[in-house]
Structure 1
Amino acid sequence: MFFIGIFGIENKDIEIKVLNNIVCEKCNTTVIGRLVKNYDYFHFFFIPFLKWNESYYVVCNNCASIYSIPKEKGKAIENGEDIELTYWDFKKTNNIYYDDYYEPKVCCNCGKRLEYNFQYCPYCGEKIK
């Protein structure tokens, strides 16, 4: 976040829609996923004015793998069009939290999935081992 006084530049993720019947490469099955829009924006007094660097990605609810999709298809789904996403639309991203080297942690107390760098569970407060 870039912030000077009353204006700044930030990055934001917005969940657009829950998608059924997504084929996850890692799970090797059909699963439910969440379509997320990511963008940068300029704000003045916390009112957004300009948006740029829009991108769309799908997060697998089963294994938390992240796949980018074409911007045109993401925008069409966001606008309510009935667009079908195929296996060929998904491009695996190298997200630091969910790639093959940094599997997400699971809290032994409540069973919630956590990012790899968490020391304490944000859901129940238990220290992560």
Structure 2
Amino acid sequence: MFFIMGVSQGQKKLNFDQLIVCGRCGRYGHLEVYMVYSYLSLFFIPVLKWGRRYYVRTTCCNASVELDAELGRKIQRGEITSLPENIIPDSPAMLQSGRKRCASCGFETEEDYQFCPKCGREL
């Protein structure tokens, strides 16, 4: 007799969606919450899950931040329906260095341009 078993990582999108104006890129986007975990499978059936971590991600610029485990569990149970809009922090290096980022294409520059040299949109 032999056993087919393995350890792998899984990802599950939780039932959470919130419309925001992203503080990072300035566009409209949605906050989505994901749970990432490791699991043991026996004969291709997940048997045991461990190491659950929760992340929030924006759909506009794909910025993501890890959430506190307790907050993630509350979102998973449906107890929390909205998060603060500043949950995705601005890049501190950009704010301190005076760099500008185009909200449309993501081009970064230190020059004092009024329009993006890559796509032509206003900075």
TM-score, normalised to structure 1, is 0.57
Counterpart of 1:79, as a letter, is R
* TM-aligned CA distance change 1:11 to 1:70, over 3 Å: same
2:113 is aligned to: none
Q: Which of 1 and 2 has higher RCO (CA within 8 Å, sep 6+)?
A: 2
User: Matched residues, percent identical?
Assistant: 28
Question: Structure 2 CA distance, aligned partners of 1:69 and 1:45?
Answer: 32
Q: Which amino acid aligns with 2:30?
A: I
Show the counterpart of 2:76.
78
Q: 1:11 touches 1:40 (CA, 8 Å); kept in 2?
A: yes
Structure (1/2) with the larger helix percentage: 2
SS in 2 for 1:81: coil
- Identify which of 34, 37, 53 aligns with 1:36: 34
Select the structure of larger CA radius of gyration. 2
In the alignment, structure 1 segments of 5+ residues that lack a partner are 93-129
Shift of 1:79: 0.9
Is the Cα–Cα contact under 8 Å of residues 18 and 32 in structure 1 kept in the other structure?
Answer: no
Counterparts in 2 of 1:29 and 1:40: CA distance versus 1, 3 Å: same
- Partners of 2:41 and 2:32 in 1: CA distance: 26
2:60 counterpart of 1:62: yes
Q: Which aligned segments of 4 or more residues in structure 1 are displaced greater than 6 angstroms?
A: none
Q: Provide the C-alpha distance between the structure 1 equivalents of 2:21 and 2:39, rounded to a whole number of angstroms.
A: 32
Amino acid at match of 2:11: D
Is 1:47 the counterpart of 2:50 in the alignment? no
Q: How far did 1:87 drift?
A: 5.2
The offset of 1:36, in angstroms, is 0.6
- Paired residues, what number? 89
CA offset digits 1:6-26 (Å, max 9, x no partner): 000000111112421446442
In structure 2, relative to structure 1, the CA distance for the partners of 1:22 and 1:41 (3 Å cut) is farther
- In the TM superposition, residue 71 of structure 1 has moved relative to its aligned partner by 1.1
**Unpaired runs of 5+ in structure 2?**
91-123
Task: Specify the SS of the correspondent of 2:75.
Answer: helix
